[in-house]
Amino acid sequence: MDAIEIFFACYGVLLALSFAKVLAGAARLIAHRKTIRIGWLTPLLMLLLLFDMASAVTSGWRNLGVADISLRLVLACLSAAGAYYVIASLAVPEELQDGADLDAWFRDHKHYMAGGLLAANLLGFELVQSLIKGPAEMVAGRWMGFSGVMNLVFYALVAVLILVRNRITELVMLATLNIVYVLVLLVF
């Protein structure tokens, strides 16, 4: 194995563990669906995490294979993957008590989860691209045209999600973020 294969194995394992954590949370929700109130916020967050982590894997596959491995690049990637793991760990409580309300859980932990999502994207996409290609090429590749509009929409919606304290607005932000991913999937 060369350096990139070893690095990508570590990065990929951490993202895979995060993905598995979200799926394990979904399984716990299904198992307890009759004794808890699931609501919409947590499932929408979980779907968004799956979309975003899949995007991180594909971005890593495209970009990390051509990168010169440096400590800064490794730390940025592993920090982003670590942020996904923390978010995935917080998405569903480990212990689901009878009568638990997951919308209340989401709202109590939203700042950490949405802030982690913002950090994961800034580290995993913006900083990593800047380290691999340089800041000017990163801006030209990620922030021009349709891609730039989608990035701006994504970051703006996550920022609003962090700041708002209204359940309906949080629901709209999460639903819109998922719709953005579906649109990107259809275009790219």
Task: Render pLDDT for 90-146 as a digit per residue (tens, 0 to 9).
Answer: 999 999 999 999 999 999 999 999 999 999 999 999 999 899 889 999 898 889 998
Question: What pLDDT, on the 0 to 100 scale, is given for residue 10?
Answer: 85
**CA nearest to 62, candidates 124, 121, 152:** 124
Instruction: Give the H or E element holding residue 98.
Output: none
Question: What pLDDT, on the 0 to 100 scale, is given for residue 85?
Answer: 98
Query: Is the separation of the CB atoms in 113 and 90 below 8 Å?
Result: yes
Half-sphere exposure of 30 (CA within 13 A, CB side): 6
What would the pLDDT profile of 135-181 be if each residue is shown by its tens digit? Answer: 999 898 889 998 899 899 999 999 999 999 999 999 999 999 999 99
Query: Is the separation of the CB atoms in 42 and 29 below 8 Å?
Result: yes
CA pair distance 121, 129, nearest whole angstrom: 11
Query: Is the separation of the CB atoms in 124 and 77 below 8 Å?
Result: yes
Query: Is the separation of the CB atoms in 20 and 83 below 8 Å?
Result: no
* Distance between start and end Cα atoms, the chain: 31
Task: Show the tokens assigned to 36.
Answer: 């808890």
Question: What pLDDT, on the 0 to 100 scale, is given for residue 60?
Answer: 82
**pLDDT > 70 fraction of the chain, expressed in percent and rounded:** 97
Task: Show the tokens assigned to 31.
Answer: 């198992």
Where does the pLDDT of residue 58 fall: very low under 50, low under 70, confident under 90, or very high at 90 and above?
A: confident
Q: Exposed, middle or buried by CB within 10 Å (0-12, 13-18, 19+), for 115?
A: middle
**pLDDT > 90 fraction of the chain, expressed in percent and rounded:** 72
Q: Residue written as tokens 């950490």?
A: 112
CA pair distance 130, 127, nearest whole angstrom: 5
Question: What pLDDT, on the 0 to 100 scale, is given for residue 61?
Answer: 80
Question: What pLDDT, on the 0 to 100 scale, is given for residue 1?
Answer: 64
Question: What pLDDT, on the 0 to 100 scale, is given for residue 35?
Answer: 96
Q: Which amino acid is at 111?
A: H
Mean residue pLDDT across the chain = 92
Query: Is the separation of the CB atoms in 80 and 124 below 8 Å?
Result: yes
Query: Is the separation of the CB atoms in 12 and 54 below 8 Å?
Result: no
Q: Mean pLDDT, to the nearest integer, of 11-26? A: 96
CA pair distance 164, 161, nearest whole angstrom: 6
